[in-house]
Homo-oligomer: A and B are copies of this chain.
Amino acid sequence: MNIVVQKFGGTSVRNLECQRQVLQKVLRPYREGNKVIVVLSAMTGETNRLLDLANEWTDNPDPAEVDSILSTGEQVSCALFALLLKQQGISARSVLGFQVPIRTDSTFGKARIIDIDVDNNKLTKMLKEHDILVVAGFQGCDENQRVTTLGRGGSDTSAVALAAAVKADICEIYTDVPGVFTTDPNMCTEARKIDRIAYDEMLEMASMGAKVLQIRSVEFAKKYNVTVHVRSTFSNEPGTIVMQEDETMEAVLVSGIAYDKDQARITLEHVTDTPGVSAQIFTPLADKMILVDMIVQNPSKDGKTDMTFTVPRSDVQQTIKVLEKLQYEIGFEKLSSNLNVSKISIIGVGMRNHSGVAARAFQALADENVNILMISTSEIKVTCLIDDKYTELAVRTLHKAFHLDEGEPLEKL
A64 contacts across to B, CB distance below 8 A:
93
Q: Which of A94-119 contact B (CB under 8 A)?
A: 94, 96, 98-99
* A16 neighbours in B (Cβ, 8 Å): 56-57
Chain B residues near A72 (CB-CB < 8 A):
72, 75-76
Q: Is A84 touching B62 in the complex (CB atoms < 8 A)?
A: no
Q: What is the CA–CA distance of A99 and B147 in the complex, to the nearest angstrom?
A: 10
**CB-CB contacts of A250-268 with B at 8 A, as 1s and 0s?**
0000000000000000000
CB-CB contacts of A134-148 with B at 8 A, as 1s and 0s?
A: 000000000001110
Partner of A99, one of B50, B69, B84, B145: B145
Q: How many copies of this kind of chain does the complex include?
A: 2
Q: Across the interface, do B65 and A69 meet the contact criterion of CB distance under 8 Å?
A: no
Number of contacting residues on A, CB 8 A? Answer: 36
Residues of chain B lying within 8 A (CB to CB) of residue A80? 53-54, 57, 65, 69
Docked-complex contact B69 and A79, CB < 8 angstroms? yes
Bound-state CA distance A61–B82 (Å) is 10
Which residues of A187-212 have CB atoms within 8 Å of chain B's CB atoms? none
A58 touches B (CB below 8 Å): yes
Which listed residue (B53, B62, B79, B145) contacts A68, Cβ 8 A?
Answer: B79
Q: A62-B83, A68-B94, A69-B80 are in contact. List 17 more A-B contacts (CB 8 A).
A: A16-B56, A54-B79, A54-B83, A57-B83, A57-B87, A58-B83, A58-B84, A62-B82, A65-B82, A65-B86, A65-B93, A66-B79, A68-B75, A68-B78, A68-B79, A69-B75, A75-B75
